[in-house]
Amino acid sequence: MNPSLTIREFRYPEDYQAVIDLWANAGPGIHLAKSDAEPEIKKKLQRDPDLFLVMEAEDKIIGAVLGGYDGRRGMVYHLAVTPKYQHHGIGKALMQALEDRLRRKGCLKAYLLVTKDNDAANFYESIGWGEMDLLIFGKELA
């Protein structure tokens, strides 16, 4: 990784808009929802702020990953890298940093969901994640 690149924890509120813009412009695959609204991100940061990481280059956010840990399983919610910086190891570095933090918390297994319109499946497989034979169910509670 380039020494001018820095991984650090997300800072609220100053990083919020830059990360939302990154996710919104990352291309197909990241679907922003109510859970990405500022009040929801603020709630998320009450639980495990150390699992929301950004990558900076020249004081600009060029990548971000949002993870979680419920005490039993880890979860990766959003990973995005600015198109100009894709295919330079940024996503891999962010995922490695997140995985390391999950391991330190005692996490034995983590999940991530990839939508059918997201072409990142090959990327995730290349860094050791595997497809699982599962049905995913969801329910809006609000």
* 111-142 confidence digits (pLDDT tens): 999 888 888 889 999 999 999 998 889 998 98
Alpha helices in 87-135 (DSSP H): 90-104, 121-126
What global pTM score does this model have? 0.93
CB contact at 8 A, 131 and 122? no
Place of tokens 């690149």: 5
Domain edges within the chain:
5-126
The superfamily (CATH) of domain 5-126 is Gcn5-related N-acetyltransferase (GNAT) (3.40.630.30)
Tokens read off for 9? 């924890």
Question: pLDDT for 39-49, tens place per residue?
Answer: 999 999 999 99
Q: Which residues, in sequence order, are CB contacts of 28 under 8 Å at separation 6+?
A: 115, 117, 118, 119
- The Cβ of residue 31 has, within 10 Å, a number of other Cβ atoms equal to 11
Tokens read off for 1? 């990784």
Tell me what pLDDT residue 23 has.
Answer: 96
